[in-house]
Amino acid sequence: MTPSPHRASRSLSLEPGGLPSRQARIANRVIRTTMRTLWAAAPNNDAGLRTVRWAAARLPSVVPPGVKIVPESFGLFSGEWVRAGKINDNQVFLYLHGGGYFFGSPKTYRSLSWRLSAATRRAVLMVDYRLVPEHTPADALADALVAYEALLARGFEPNNIVVGGDSAGGHLALALLHTLKERGLPQPSAAVVISPWADISCAAESHQLNERTDHLIPAAKLAWLGKKYLEVDGALDAPITGDYRGLPRLMLISSGSEILRDDARTVARLAADAGIEVVHHEWEGLVHVFPVFADFIPEGKAAFRHIADFLRRS
């Protein structure tokens, strides 16, 4: 399969390749003037990272009545189970949130987790992995591996497990798949990654080309983070250089206007070249990780339908 983004008619809305909705355009402006501005103004040091984390933790996290949230402890880190509507408890979606490896939590991602559970009819396990600057991305990978092995130990069959994540969590999900392969552990049935920060070095052309059109991420800030992480852990390149043979089928969701556009395209190409089934939906003019903002962006809601359709095609 040639890993080219899915293109629908330009006249269609709420589909990959369609023009962004009015709600999406308004959300883009709001996110740019608030979240992107805050991150851009934060200093390039640990205090700056903690400031952004503090602000992100105060974003509202409202779920509809009937959504069940149960905390989970894994010792060094925690997580939470999210169940929305009628689900199959034998099937699970292990999700790794984004946030540049330094912010984000299951609580801040509840607008995504409950929709993911409702759409896929699976229990969603959101991992609250350890964060920078107190820890490292290597610690986050260790936590993701522990959570995955815990699912196996509890009797979940690999073909009933899906792994996913967005942004840094997308990098983490891909790194987890490569780690499972290296250790000879069974792969999940599929992986779904949204706007993955696959290349920690930020070397892709879109990091410069889309700096002005990315409504959430200041390119210079992400490049500084990547350099900081690579100085501590030089083994973060598996998602962009690794061998994808033997990994599960893969769905990627991204935006053509974000700086991580080429990261998703490269992962799609690498996976397809390895003979893996790849579905890549590249949407136009939407904010980075737009499904997180599904409360305000209708394309975000539509993305969950596409994810559910992909997982049903076993």
The single residue listed with the structure tokens 């891909």 is 174
The single residue listed with the structure tokens 């883009």 is 28
CA distance 7 to 9: 7
- Catalytically annotated residue among 117, 171, 254, 258: 258
- Catalytically annotated residue among 111, 167, 206, 255: 167
Please indicate whether residue 258 is annotated as part of the active site: yes
C-beta separation of 134 from 102 below 8 A:
no
Q: In what order do the strands lie in the sheet with 68-73?
A: 68-73, 78-83, 122-128, 88-96, 161-166, 190-194, 249-255, 278-283
* H or E segment to which residue 80 belongs: strand 78-83
The 10 Å Cβ neighbour count of residue 269 is 16
**Which of 162, 95, 115 has its CA nearest to residue 301?**
115
The single residue listed with the structure tokens 């189970």 is 81
- Catalytically annotated residue among 97, 178, 215, 288: 288
Amino acid making up residue 109 = Y
Please indicate whether residue 205 is annotated as part of the active site: no
Name the token pair of 198. 């696959």
C-beta separation of 195 from 169 below 8 A:
no
Cross-strand bridge partners of residue 69: 82
Amino acid making up residue 208 = Q
Q: Are strands 68-73 and 161-166 parallel, antiparallel or unpaired?
A: unpaired
Please indicate whether residue 167 is annotated as part of the active site: yes
**Residues with active-site annotation:** 167, 258, 288
